[in-house]
Structure 1
């Protein structure tokens, strides 16, 4: 089946679009990709919705502000698909399903509460293509963490690429997560801790540009080792997985009023070390770490991960994957699995009681 996957991550920078051919198990081929950026005004609205979403107790509730943000997300995703189809000479009839992740504004699995805004029914009506959305809720309702959802796709990618095991696949978005694939192809997956969020927030506050390009600022700084030692004894890092985090679980202000370079260095080291600590939960440590997501473009972060892991570290591009569009591809894959009733999550990936499917299908 030819599927489109849509992803708008915790960095809130825009909508990723990717085409994938799959039967929900094997990957038959990769298609083109597309990116629709959010404007600064759109990002500001989403940031406001994220703040307001923290107060939600009913996942279906929509304050006026959150309703406006949801309308924006739906419209932006629809525009992204329409432009993608037009750019690549495709018609709506060419696409079997669209997988819509939506924009997460709240993730509190301990309260069985996860909210991704983006109206799947409205998107289906505008595009005229079946849509699968609300991927996380079924897992949360069944006692899982609702995240990460991508591990089953990571394994399919690793099978297709014939990568060695044990293998760690790391996605560094706002929050970092890892899929550990054992020698017997068994899965273990969880959020490792902060990803780009703390670094981006720090740079945004200090420089007005919410990115440390290539990790250049961090490379000029000196990390606060005492603070890092304190941060890494946080109970989350010792908690047995599966486990997941909200973007706001840690704040960039933990580094205090230090120089911009030193703050960036400390936060980058914190991200790298918390990622590598994931290997503590494997019987045999990974011989290869494949890093995807926005963090794969941060050379300083990659170097620190390699130093800590004492293993080979490669980017998604190094192994023939798309670091930038992997999660969009994943939601195309998950949408097909959902339509076929195949499991999306497992006890070893989200802590759900048994393997279950998920997603709401708007046919």
Structure 2
């Protein structure tokens, strides 16, 4: 990959043309000031600027396909030197051949060394700029590729995490349906229909997109209806959304793993009614969602820090790049998980 000096659009060509015209006028005035006739000065500058432009295009095409390495950096000087010598003598020969003026011929011979030095310096500068620009563009392309790889890897891991989280709930629901088929066939049928609707909504959702808190809570209600069929009167869930938080947004399918974790560690091992509380509040630039469930501290998994929460914590890090957005605490006999979502 090589940097391009020639403009790519009309705006660039207009700017480039204006610069050439100003350079042409300035150099022609300078030659006239040092004794060359205006007519000869104009043609002199026009011809040599054209030769310099051609040499620049040749350099650009050479270094576009071949960039000198550590052992042959001398080409950065030799190639411009060859182009400069060819352009210099060709331009002088054309001027002498077209204009048979003795004074002009003597003037061109007199400034030949100075003109040659100027052309060499300009072409070497162009060569260095092309090579350095090419390296910068290669580095940028490499960084863009690495960024794309990181983004793709994050998206793949996010998808993998979601695919890991969903089967836990699905397997539990299918086991419950199997258990109710003989004793409670109507409940089993209702649960199958609700599970079908829930999974259909899950498939439609895009893990890259954000949704409103109202949409997330509506999706959560579908999940809770299935859980209530499984656990009946034992499960009580209170959802409280602060009116100030209704305009907030969050990544889709983010709250359901919290509720699943609360159900798992709140109801399993207990026979009495279990109340789970879900609250959503606006706290500055964050949406804070808290899920509280009772737990038995004597149980081995009482704190509920299994795959569900760890997977959710990893997902939050992949989305926001932070480890402090999911917090857990114990208040009496309640286990509380708080999720803070930065607002876009």
Instruction: Judge same fold: TM > 0.5, yes or no.
Output: no
The structure with more radius of gyration: 2
- Place the TM-score, normalised by the shorter chain, in its bin: under 0.3
Q: Structure 1-normalised TM-score?
A: 0.24
Q: Which has a greater percent of strand?
A: 1
Larger helix proportion of the pair: 2
The higher relative CO (CA closer than 8 Å, separation ≥ 6) is in 1
For normalisation by structure 2, the TM-score amounts to 0.25
